[in-house]
Each structure stands twice: as C-alpha cells, then as structure tokens.
Amino acid sequence: MDKNEILQRLIRIPLFSAIKKNDEYMNLLVAISTIRKYRKGEMIIKEGDIGAEMYIVLSGNVEILKRTRAGDDYTVTKLKAEHNVFFGELALIDDDKRSATVIASSDSEFLVMTKEDFISLGDRHPAVGLPVTREIAKIISSRLRKTTGDMLTIFDALVTEIQG
C-alpha cells in the first residue's frame, strides 16, 4: 500500500475526522506510523498484556475476544477493513493492560501508531494531537455511558429476581 492509499484510508477513519482536511496533519500521522502484517490466526493483542500501540485495519479482518471469569473466550465483535476500523486506541492514552485479545481472522495489514510517537507528535503539533485525543475521549465517554446503562439493567434484573 503506497502513501497516498494510506492517506485515503486515514481520512475515512472517524478518529481523525477533525483533521482529515489538513494534508500536513494527515501526513504527520502517516510519518509516525508503520505497516505491520499478520497471517490468519495470528494473535495481534493479548488480553492482559500492557499495550502501547493502536492499530488501523488497512486490509483483512480481525476478531475481538474477551475471556470470562470462568476462563472461556467469547467473540465480542468482528472488524473488517472496509468499515474503516481501528482498535487499541486507549493505549495511546494510558499504560493499562489490554482489555481484549485480537486475532487476525484473515491475512491482514495494519497501520500501527505507538504511544511514544503519538505523544511526541502531539507535543510538537498540538493541533494534531488535541483533536485526536478529544475523539478518543468521546469513545471513552460513550463506552462509560453504555457500561453504566448495562450495569443499571443488570441491577434492575437482579432486584426484580430477588423481589419476584
């Protein structure tokens, strides 16, 4: 995949929507990124490991798996490159453990950004880093609201079960 194709893909990634019309900013993102390939069945991220990279799916598909407390894996979702998807974005912000395992479900190619490079870019060019960080904050907020709603649903079901 050449630089222009990578730029065209980045423009379609929602994380970069606030800066997608600025060629200079988008080229700065390409400059801090590397391409990485995985074969079908290869593990890209392992739940529980410390992560410091975000992945943009350029081609192929991945499966996101979560481990239950009983030790069973279940598929949370499947992501396809044509949907302009990414994963691991929280690793650009924190130093916590990975929350899920990601497996290549076909031969796949990714654009990878490291936390170190993203932070350095943001320090040098806040007009690039800040809008992307805001988009990550929106993702976190949305997930928190969903989790809160899910917890209330579970609590309500538990109360109904106990009372019933």
DSSP 112-138: EEEHHHHHHHHHH-HHHHHHHHHHHHH
For position 155, what pLDDT does the model report?
Answer: 86
The confidence score (pLDDT) of residue 150 equals 82
Sequence spans of domains, the chain: 3-163
**What is the pLDDT at residue 156?**
87
For residue 135, the model assigns a pLDDT of: 93
Other C-beta atoms closer than 10 Å to the C-beta of 136 total 17
Residue 39 Cα to chain centre, angstroms: 19
pTM of the model: 0.87
pLDDT score at 102:
97
Q: Check residue 18 and give its pLDDT.
A: 95
Predicted confidence (pLDDT) per residue in 57-69, tens digit: 999 999 999 998 8
Euclidean distance between the first and final Cα of the chain, in Å?
60
Fold classification of 3-163 is Jelly Rolls (2.60.120)
Average pLDDT per 10 consecutive residues for the chain, totaling 164 residues = 89 94 95 97 96 95 93 92 94 92 97 97 96 93 86 88 86
pLDDT at position 67 is 92
Q: Which of 79, 99, 76, 88 is nearest to 15 (CA)?
A: 88
- DSSP 8-state assignment for residue 107: S
